[in-house]
Amino acid sequence: MSEAVFSSEQGSETPAGSGDDLRVMASDPWAWCIALPVLFGALAAIRLTIPSAPYFDEVHYLPAARELLSGGEYLNREHPLLGKELIALGIYLLGDNPLGWRIMPLIAGIITVGAGMRAIWHASHERFAVIAYGVLLATGFHIFVHARIAILDIFMLCFLALAAWQFTAAIREPETGRWRLALTGIAIGCALASKWNAVPLAMAPGLTFFAARLSAGRRRLVFSKRGVPVPGISLAEAFVWLGVLPMAIYSATFIPGYWLTAGTAPSPLSQLGLIGLHQEIIALQQQVITPHSYQSTWAQWVTNTRGIWYLYEFTDGAQRGVLLIGNPLTMLLGLPALLWCLVTGFGRNDWAKVGIVIGYGVSLGLWLIAPKPVQFYYHYAVPSCFLLAALALFLSDLHGSARHRWISYAALGASTAVFAIFFPILTAAPLDGPMSFANWTWIAGWR
């Protein structure tokens, strides 16, 4: 927490331009927060248009996006509209072709990496942790694979990362708190409107604000503007930015649905209303699904022992594949790093570390109680981002020790090397033949 925040609790702020502020500004790795996402985007763009036909869940979302553009039928009603609207925007701008389908996911992936790095900076003010997190996110497989396919997950991840960036920045720089909280609320609404998996984390900023004010023992809890987490903002105002605004943004994303149809009938939205449509969405989300060969459990996600082949077939003149697993190295290294963050976070009152552990637990815990009968490894995408954040902070602690600094560099180098090994089956490269998958399926659960 910045000195400005703590001094504001006493009614004053650290003067702008103080020595501490200048040192922080000088160490801000903002150039890395541009360079690494751009490099990530350049790598993710390789063979972006291959396969040239829709694959995996693109077969559901592309027809829904086309219907949005034509004002046709309301398809894929089990998910909110924003992700499909963004896919439709790409088609509108670049045409109904593979580049048009996947350009918006690519942009969202680039933003996810950059916004995640900025969130870690404002949470920790640790330069090495920010750079490490950029490398770990870019080489962690989840963001990379989802930045190359026209499905909804990357949009949810993008808006959650933006919300985390703006909320941590509001806490760190309370003089910008009002407009940053407003941006946080907008991003939360957009994350919810992309995919409902965002629900537990969407509640986190508001609950954090409430808990911080409650712990401060403010006599005028609702209307006092003093104290953490954002001095100058009352709890009542925070509720507007973090509660009311997200719901308004979320609701607004459904407006295009009013001109869609249900076959020959009018739009389900005009028939059922927004609340009635959501009752239908809930029913669709909870429907019994036939068991799938790629389904998995949360324990398999944590241990990275069950993947999904998004593609494995002869297409575009060659055998090609796209495998979704986590980086085999960092998905396991991140587990003891979470424990490290938990212990040192409470031991040192380092709330950035504690928050990351809580974020991991909340985002994974959703799937322990979710009434969804069949689950898949891509549901681990959000928890994996917190896992890698914990690893970045752990490596930053090692980097601060002259004796162990080499380990931090070795871990990042090894993560990059593993990413390079798997690059062909992350990017649908031409393979030698039908049995080539064996080169990367190091355990049976990846087959």
246 with 235: CB under 8 angstroms? Answer: no
176 with 170: CB under 8 angstroms? Answer: yes
Confirm whether 339 is domain-assigned. Answer: no
Confirm whether 188 is domain-assigned. Answer: yes
Measured CA to CA in angstroms, residue 78 lies from 193, 263, 266, 274 at distances of 12, 16, 18, 13
Cis geometry, peptide bond prior to residue 229 (ω within 30 degrees of 0): yes
pLDDT tens digits for 410-442? Answer: 999 999 999 999 999 999 999 999 999 999 999
Query: Cα–chain-centroid distance for residue 193?
Result: 14
Confidence grade of residue 295 (pLDDT, cut at 50, 70, 90): confident
Confirm whether 191 is domain-assigned. Answer: yes
pLDDT of residue 13: 41
More confident residue, 407 or 221: 407
pLDDT tens digits for 143-170? Answer: 999 999 999 999 999 999 999 999 999 9
pLDDT of residue 7: 37
Confirm whether 18 is domain-assigned. Answer: no
* Cβ count near 20 (within 10 Å): 12
Domain that holds residue 221: 169-252
Within 13 Å and on the Cβ side, how many CA atoms surround 258? Answer: 8
Task: State the Cα–Cα distance between residues 338 and 393, nearest whole angstrom.
Answer: 9
Task: State the Cα–Cα distance between residues 79 and 199, nearest whole angstrom.
Answer: 13
Overall average pLDDT of the 191-207 stretch: 95
pLDDT tens digits for 324-340? Answer: 999 999 999 999 999 99
Confidence grade of residue 1 (pLDDT, cut at 50, 70, 90): very low
Confirm whether 228 is domain-assigned. Answer: yes
More confident residue, 234 or 293: 234
Confirm whether 244 is domain-assigned. Answer: yes
Confidence grade of residue 19 (pLDDT, cut at 50, 70, 90): low
Q: List, in sequence order, the alpha helices (H) in 291-350.
A: 298-303, 330-347
Overall average pLDDT of the 185-192 stretch: 98
Per-residue DSSP letters for 12-70?
--PPTT-HHHHHHHHH--HHHHHHHHHHHHHHHTTTTT-SSS--TTHHHHHHHHHHHHH
* Among candidate residues 251, 446, 285, the one with its CA nearest the CA of residue 366: 285
12, pLDDT greater than 50: no
* Among candidate residues 106, 50, 57, the one with its CA nearest the CA of residue 430: 50
Task: State the Cα–Cα distance between residues 118 and 197, nearest whole angstrom.
Answer: 23
The percentage of the chain sitting over the pLDDT mark of 70, rounded to a whole number, equals: 93
pLDDT tens digits for 36-93? Answer: 999 999 999 999 999 999 999 999 999 999 999 998 999 998 899 999 999 999 999 9
Confirm whether 202 is domain-assigned. Answer: yes
First to last CA, the chain: 46
- Domain count for the chain, please give it: 1
